[in-house]
Structure 1
Amino acid sequence: MTKTQTSRFELVRIELPVAWTFAGLVAGLGLGTILSGGAMIDSVVEWTAPIGTLWLRALQMTIIPLVAALLVLGIAQMAAAARAGAAARRMLLLVFALLTLGGIITATVMPWLLELAPIPASASAFLAHTPEQAQQLPSLADFVASLVSPNIVAAAAETAMLPFTIFFALLAVAISKLSEGQRASLLGFFHALANAMLIIIGWVLWLAPVGVFALGLGVAAQAGGGAFGALLHYILVVSAMGGFVLLGAYVLAWIIGGIAPWRFARAMLPAQAVALSTQSSLASLPAMLDSSGRLGLRQSTAEFVLPLAVAIFRATSPAMNLAVAIYVAYLAGIELTPTLLAAGIGVALIISVGSVSLPGSISFVVSIGPIALAMGVPIEPLALLVAVEMLPDIMRTLGNVTMNVAVTSAVDRVQHD
């Protein structure tokens, strides 16, 4: 294990077997396709299904404590950033607006896109391990009342993510108002809790090739070779939402930053090449600084905004995370009312603050799980979709890196006009 610095908090950095997880999925789907319809398939699935279920439950058990800890740490970082001066506050307002806009665009466009390009029927096999439950659509009054839970422990036990995230967001703000000693003590506790949960989830994800193989075999036993096509559909549709964020970066740099799109695109090529090859915004930071210099942005602005953006801003997070939740909702036949979509956007915004510094596989589960739970969407399919996250993650990194430089151009122009 290595560590990476995130503001004043160091979170454990875990190297995960991403390629092996993907290979496990392909192997499980392949074997299930071969055996599908044969006499052996029922016996094989009977032995492998409990393995997949056990791994899935181990993945789920860390979500609540990890989300709580990361929310407190993430909001503490944003509070510290807000105290850094007017430039930081302007940047935070712009970041909040962009994250909100990304969520609204996905909530509007994603359902339309799924109507235009429907989910393949074979994708229904992704719900093989999902318990059936009657859908209850909350009224507006019930939704408003649910925003605050009288018992936060009960909310956690019932995975009521909306009041849970609101409580810990408020707790983080309250902690920032405490004296330095008390603030340090509480943040130290949540810092240690986050690291402990990351270690546990790292152990679980090291077993991902086995768990995903077992789940994939069960899916292919029902869907046959169509499971591959269903996953490809998922990858393309979810990545399309990241594409909107990517295009939005060019628009932001043009309209607010005053940089022509063709000039911005040419200057961004080196940083985007690093982003594609590393799939890491942190590793792309030197290239982003170079792109800022090519655009003629002030060095003082770039050296302040870009490291801060890497630490607290993931532009594609609400858009693509909400897209996954909406995809699974359509898969499960869940009616998404404006109230449920608003709940999803709200949780996506809050959760994005705490998951920026995590590896893709961990942030996928921690970020999308709470959104899905807040919308009444089953989270079991996430255990399979995490195996292909390495592909949408390319779009995530590309959009994040491009938007970081676009935000820098906007702050630079506003600050010196």
Structure 2
Amino acid sequence: MALHWQILTALAAAFLVGAVFGTEAAGIPLLSIYEFVGGLFLDALKMLIVPLITASIITGVASIGSAGGVGQMAGRTVIYYLFSTTLAVTTALMVMNLFQPGISGGQPLSETVALPPIGDEVSGRLEGKELSEFFNILRDMVPANIVEAGAEAQMLGLIFFSVLFGIALTRATSPGMQTVKDFWAGVQDVMVQITHWVMKVAPIGVFALVAGVIAESGLSVILPMIDFFLAVVMGLAIHALVVLPLVLWLVTRRSPIRFMRAIWPALLVAFSTSSSAGTLPVTLQALTQRAGVSRETSSFVLPLGATINMDGTALYECAAVLFIAQAYGVDLSLSMQVLIVVLALVTSVGVAAVPSASLVAIALILGVLGLPLEAMGLLLVVDRLLDMLRTSVNVYSDATGAVIIAKLRGEERVLMDTRPDEGAETGEPAGAAERG
């Protein structure tokens, strides 16, 4: 059975087992088992991130061969990410204004539903957070200690250092430079092989992660917030299934269906882990082995996207703030809604470096608009399930960007001669064909 079918089967089994057996059965602490196994799988994925991304970017930049080539690709990548995130926030704006889930029976939700407290744990995360913190993301691009940046997985700092290292590698004239290039290419191949091994047990990890969520919270938690839940799901679906495929087809003239088939395993892992960074090794493998994107392009575009491109998160932030405004009967003017769009764009960029990032970003926007922070208690009811969905959209947008940039760079194999299971079954390092 192909890997994506194994993961899909594991997801279905997780929903069933989690809903039927709950957190404990016959005295067996199922939830603890789920957390242990799922935690091992997540840690295994995170273990790969720093060495794989560092080696991939250095090798990719060195193969491009000039600072001008890197700058052109970086410019196109940033433009795409800003464009796609703007489209996501605009989609949220239209869906929330059209369906108005914060209004029930013509009355604001706050008049019919008692708002739950936000809780001490979340309050502690929000304490001392200010909007200016998100602008410090530019400061994080230059790490004072690259080893510390690696230990803390500060992706922007690692990306910046790796790009500089790769450019310097093309300019240095020492006779030993080829040895350095071969070293990093070898590290990349080794990390890809380890990724292949980790993905062999992905169905088990996915089952544990999702079964734990369902067993602990249950599907019934979404009932009080069903209108908001469905509105956000609709917005995410429109962006992922209509907007991004249309952009992909208009720019590349490649089949969005073939693209979806190619990155399907990465989307399933993103859904189960709720981590764009944790899914990076899988996304890299899917694009190079299944979508025909070169290693140098995917190694540059995807890590940057996992750090600054958060389409699903930005969409959710905008939807959540509009929902709370509707629930409290606050009529937001057009200028205020434009301000929400801008704030969602800005805060989504810095979200990767902040714990419980979406909640923090939403709190900051609420503070700017003067809306009550306590209303966030409503969001906590469905946040976990929506987090899984919006992470999948984040990864989908990153992968779309990689395909678009690859096509603009003249890579003709993109989504053309795609053999989905090649490499995935043999364990052949991604990108071997390109280097040959």
| Cα offsets for 1:219-249 (capped at 9, x unmatched) | 2221417699787875553344523532541
Identify the residue that residue 4 of structure 2 maps to in structure 1.
Answer: 18
Q: 1:198/1:248 Cα in 2 relative to 1: closer, same or farther (>3 Å)?
A: same
Identify the residue that residue 3 of structure 1 maps to in structure 2.
Answer: none
Which of residues 114, 125, 128 in structure 2 aligns to 1:134? 125
CA distance in 1, matches of 2:179, 2:18: 51
Q: 1:277/1:62 Cα in 2 relative to 1: closer, same or farther (>3 Å)?
A: closer
Q: 1:400/1:149 Cα in 2 relative to 1: closer, same or farther (>3 Å)?
A: closer
CA distance in 1, matches of 2:206, 2:149: 29
Identify the residue that residue 49 of structure 2 maps to in structure 1.
Answer: 63
CA contact (8 A) 2:52 2:192 kept: yes
In the alignment, residue 44 of structure 1 is paired with which amino acid?
A: L
CA contact (8 A) 1:32 1:220 kept: yes
Identify the residue that residue 100 of structure 1 maps to in structure 2.
Answer: 78
Identify the residue that residue 365 of structure 1 maps to in structure 2.
Answer: none
CA distance in 2, matches of 1:163, 1:231: 33
User: How much does 1:176 deviate?
Assistant: 0.9
In the alignment, residue 13 of structure 2 is paired with which amino acid?
A: A
2:29 paired with 1:51: no
2:156 paired with 1:162: yes
2:394 paired with 1:404: no
Pairwise mapping of residues 150-299 of structure 1 onto structure 2 (< 5 A)?
150-179=144-173, 181-221=175-215, 222-224=217-219, 234=236, 236-240=238-242, 242-246=244-248, 248-249=250-251, 272=255, 275=258, 279=262
| Cα offsets for 1:171-196 (capped at 9, x unmatched) | 11111111263321111111121122
| Cα offsets for 1:301-322 (capped at 9, x unmatched) | xxxxxx9975654699677953
CA contact (8 A) 1:32 1:218 kept: yes
Q: 1:109/1:385 Cα in 2 relative to 1: closer, same or farther (>3 Å)?
A: closer
Q: For structure 1, list consecutive stretches of 5 or more residues without a partner in the other structure.
A: 1-14, 83-88, 122-129, 251-267, 281-306, 345-371, 410-417
Q: 1:235/1:274 Cα in 2 relative to 1: closer, same or farther (>3 Å)?
A: closer
| Cα offsets for 1:68-126 (capped at 9, x unmatched) | 111101111222697xxxxxx6xx877555433211112322233234446x99xxxxx
What is the TM-score normalised by the length of structure 2?
0.53
Identity among equivalent positions (%) equals 19
CA distance in 2, matches of 1:316, 1:164: 14
Pairwise mapping of residues 111-150 of structure 1 onto structure 2 (< 5 A)?
111-117=89-95, 134-135=125-126, 136-137=129-130, 138-139=132-133, 142-150=136-144
CA contact (8 A) 1:28 1:213 kept: yes
| More moved, 237-246 vs 224-233 | 224-233
Q: 1:154/1:105 Cα in 2 relative to 1: closer, same or farther (>3 Å)?
A: same
Q: 1:319/1:173 Cα in 2 relative to 1: closer, same or farther (>3 Å)?
A: closer
CA distance in 1, matches of 2:344, 2:355: 9
User: How much does 1:153 deviate?
Assistant: 0.7
Q: For structure 2, list consecutive stretches of 5 or more residues without a partner in the other structure.
A: 103-120, 264-290, 322-339, 359-383, 413-436
Q: 1:44/1:107 Cα in 2 relative to 1: closer, same or farther (>3 Å)?
A: same
- Superposition RMSD on alpha carbons, in Å? 5.2
In the alignment, residue 106 of structure 1 is paired with which amino acid?
A: S
In the alignment, residue 243 of structure 1 is paired with which amino acid?
A: P
Q: 1:54/1:117 Cα in 2 relative to 1: closer, same or farther (>3 Å)?
A: farther
User: How much does 1:217 deviate?
Assistant: 0.9
